[in-house]
Structure 1
């Protein structure tokens, strides 16, 4: 009981110290002010920070983010953000795959199957739902058995025989009963030979949902390759990352032939980039590097093959590169021009970072204002477990919602006004409360140290 009481006191003191640290700040101290609207049940409200607003911050770690009430008083708040992908809780599982056959003249619908499974739902055998004549059957795709994976599926990794080199495009569907199927979009893998080098793409992103079975159906009849390996990467719900948010297109500059540089608005933990390929039939092996500032050397971050090719009247597009989530403010793309390059003008680039959530405790009357944009502000955010008693992920989902109300309101920094000569009793009072809190903590620590050890 005493331990819980001490933790409660520590949480209250921490909140008091955070409020006291920012008590003298006013909305006018920050370059950008954004009105907020709130809905749902308070007093805690959860705000997903739009990337366009977040880019107005002056500090990479968002230390200069604040929330004020109508009286200009700062609100206690916490930030939920991820600096990089966490792969420790992700699992890679080899799964069984079964061919899906159909008649050559019946490729407009998914092939029907008869299945045999054990008591756990694991597939043992998959056969066409009707008898096919010899030479009539055609391989349409593959059925993957994910019944042994209980966590949400994040990525599909395929390998196949060399007879089907080139691009492989297919639809992805998910089911729990083999009767009702839900579309999970399209997948694309590739194996190409370019300038005496082998370029391969085996990974396909999945939506982070659970399913017992996946059905892969190739878009072009008779184009399905013979699989040699199928793996699924999954992650527990507790470790699922926040969603990615994408930036607007960013213009770059061409340093020399085959080299392009982009300057980001601030240092950001970039996890994915998208190169806008305007010209059809573009093919470019690339290496992407990054750095935090121009005085530092470039560090290689990713490589791959970018392409936009026309096949059967449709564009086949691969224009994204995966990054590790490290902080960068400059990006450089080096293109192997044996593929024809990407032109003399730098292509535009979009970047993706993990979403950031801000939770604040509404104190005083609204409306509330989000303020950011200060190079000198010190961090004032609290841990979520301090801001919200008995915090849990489930409780976070039940909080009231806050949203940006209209466009950002940018105000110039206030002119310096000579301070009045009178005594600022409010400032003295705040510092007195802070000092008493520290003395109280010191007294508690001293009393605990003086207690004699408990005899066995």
Structure 2
């Protein structure tokens, strides 16, 4: 009897597996199909999903992404979506700063200095390499001692005093030995008086690399202000985040002065936005809000000062806002009109999301196809450590590469995708047959259990 029961349950399981295999995802179940080309060593291939492709998904978490081979068989895959906050410990450190003086008529960009440091590299004294007479010296910048910080530097925060308000623009250079300097771009801070209020910008983004010393050399104005505070934010990161990818310009609308709204193609984890400032000499304190859909109240996300000002024949632009990690599909920008506003028409807006990588295990004949666009299917992605048994961040970089095969392929195709409000009768029927089979087998088992054992 036990043998019969075991055989019955095994048969039911085999029937269930067969039925579920019959209901397996097929390419025609998805609204968009994108051919892929592969290069390098398989059988694993890594694809960075273009944002234009991602926006064809019907589910914000990309649960409806699949990869198929030429025979229409679904491929095992994983999604890698590390964010800027992943595995990071952020620390804000107050650092020492030393003035960099030079002759007022000097032509070289960086002052020549003599530096005295301790055995562990901490700066003790910084002096001009030649004696400067009183009245001929000019403060050109500052040298920051970051030798005690071992983690990558993410942000610089300054405070200063100066005779007049305005913008402070300076170059940023990094070094580990005070001899060889690597450019880290430009920084910009500001202190402005606006509508009887003071608006200040103290923070400068850094490239997220380690360095023992930073050199700040002023461009505008030519003479540096007096620093009163210098802080560096560092972050220990076990795995570097994927880069941000930017959208095309998104058109918005305005229903009342000083308020602009934009509708995103889908719910997205937006990390940064960029507002187009088409008119020179624009200055706008703003508040950014967001929500998932129009039935929900607006939630404040960020605020800041946007501007495009002309100084010394050059445009000084600050048009970006950083957002917290929150899925939104609608954005609203509220502008303080006392600065002149941003015009009656809504400005164009770009949004940035963290790049997503898809890794799949190639099985069966190529070519391979990426499919997405089905609001009914469930997530099928595996953890990277399951897809690649000996997975490591180093091995991920050595995998073969896959890419979208031509820009013209990113387009919806005619398919038999079920409407969201429709009923998937095929799956209901398969589940009904499976459940009836299980009930039938359970009834057989119950009947056998009640049957008295045969007399020997």
Q: What's the TM-score once normalised by structure 1's chain length?
A: 0.84
* Segment of structure 1 superposing worse, 404-413 or 45-54: 404-413
Secondary structure at 2:385 match in 1: helix
> Once the two structures are superposed, what CA deviation does each residue of 1:360-381 show, in whole Å capped at 9, x if it has no partner?
1111121111111111111000
Q: Distance in 2 between matches of 1:73 and 1:344?
A: 53
Change (3 A) 1:21 1:136: farther
Equivalent residues in 2 for 1:84-95, closer than 5 Å: 85-86=85-86, 89-95=89-95
Sort the Cα spacing of 1:135 and 1:299 in 2 relative to 1 into closer, same or farther, 3 A.
same
The answer to whether structure 1 residue 402 and structure 2 residue 399 are counterparts is no
CA distance in 2, matches of 1:410, 1:272: 28
State the Cα distance separating 1:112 from its structure 2 match: 1.4
**Where does residue 138 of structure 1 map in the other structure?**
138
Contact 2:46–2:400 (CA under 8 A) maintained in structure 1? yes
Q: 1:163 to 1:387 in 2, by over 3 A?
A: same
The CA distance in 2 between the partners of 1:22 and 1:83, in whole Å, is: 37
Match of residue 413 from structure 1: 415
**Aligned 8 A contact 1:144 1:215 in 2:** yes
CA RMSD of aligned residues (A): 2.3
* Structure 1 residues 196 and 21: CA distance shift in structure 2, 3 A: farther
> Which residue matches 2:307?
307
* 3-state SS in 2 of match to 1:364: coil
Determine if contact 1:286/1:303 at 8 Å carries over to the other structure.
yes
**Over residues 334-361 of structure 1, what are the superposed CA-to-partner deviations in whole Å (9 max), with x where a residue is unaligned?**
1111111101110000111111111111
Larger radius of gyration: 2
* Deviation digits for residues 410-442 of structure 1 (CA, Å, limit 9, x no counterpart): 2022389xxxxxxxxxx99xx9xxx9xxxxxxx
Distance 1:340 1:300 in 2: 22
Greater alpha carbon shift after TM alignment, 155-164 vs 54-63: 155-164
Aligned to 1:247: 247
In structure 1, stretches of 5+ residues that fail to align are: 1-16, 417-426, 436-456
- Unpaired segments of 5 or more residues in structure 2? 1-16, 419-429, 439-456
- Aligned partners of 2:72 and 2:169: how far apart in 1? 56
Matched, 1:317 2:309: no
Q: How many angstroms does 1:301 deviate by?
A: 0.7
SS at match of 2:28: helix
Distance 1:158 1:21 in 2: 61
Q: 1:163 is paired with a residue of what secondary structure? A: coil
Residues 122, 147 of structure 1: 8 Å contact kept:
yes
CA contact (8 A) 2:31 2:417 kept: no
Query: 2-side partners of 1:346 and 1:301: how far apart?
Result: 19
> Could you tell me which residue of structure 1 aligns to residue 189 of structure 2?
189
Question: What is aligned with 1:174?
Answer: 174
What SS does the aligned partner of 1:315 have?
Answer: strand
Contact 1:84–1:325 (CA under 8 A) maintained in structure 2:
no
The correspondence of residues 184-333 of structure 1 with structure 2, limited to 5 A, is 184-220=184-220, 222-333=222-333
Kept in 2: contact 1:23–1:73 (CA 8 A): no
Report the equivalent of 1:6.
Answer: none
Q: Deviations over 1:156-199 (max 9, x none)?
A: 11111253532111111111221221111111111112112221
Which stretches of structure 1, 4 residues or longer, exceed 4 Å deviation after superposition?
A: 20-23
CA distance in 2, matches of 1:303, 1:217: 29
For residues 26 and 66 of structure 1, do their structure 2 counterparts lie closer, same or farther at Cα, with a shift above 3 Å needed?
same
Residues 88, 238 of structure 2: 8 Å contact kept? no
CA distance in 1, matches of 2:417, 2:247: 33
Indicate conservation of the 8 Å contact 1:89/1:239, yes or no.
Answer: no
Q: How many residues align?
A: 404
- Equivalent residue, structure 1, for 2:38: 38
Query: Who is 1:4 aligned against?
Result: none
TM-superposed CA distance for 1:317, in Å, is 0.7
Find the counterpart in structure 1 of residue 442 from structure 2: none
Structure 1 CA distance, aligned partners of 2:178 and 2:22? 57
Q: Distance in 2 between matches of 1:106 and 1:27?
A: 69
Structure 1 residue matching 2:33: 3-state secondary structure: strand
* CA distance 1:367–1:145, change in 2 (3 Å): same
Separation in 2, partners of 1:226, 1:239: 38
Contact kept? 1:293, 1:330, Cα under 8 Å: yes
1:391 corresponds to which residue? 391
**1:65–1:373 CA contact under 8 A, matched in 2:** yes
Residue 76 of structure 2 corresponds to 76
Deviations 1:212-249 (A, max 9, x none): 11111111354311111111111123153222111111
Q: Tell me, in whole angstroms, the C-alpha distance in 2 between the residues paired with 1:47 and 1:339.
A: 45
In the superposition, relative to structure 1, how do residues 123 and 391 fare at CA in structure 2: closer, same or farther (>3 Å)? same
Show CA shifts across 1:90-124 (max 9, x none).
12111111111111111442111111111211111
Alpha-carbon offset, residue 386 of structure 1? 0.9
Alignment-derived partner of residue 158 in structure 1:
158
TM-score by length of 2: 0.84
Q: Show the counterpart of 1:445.
A: none
Residue 8 of structure 1 is matched in structure 2 by: none
Distance 1:318 1:193, change over 3 A: same
CA distance in 2, matches of 1:376, 1:107: 67
* Secondary structure of 2:163 counterpart: helix
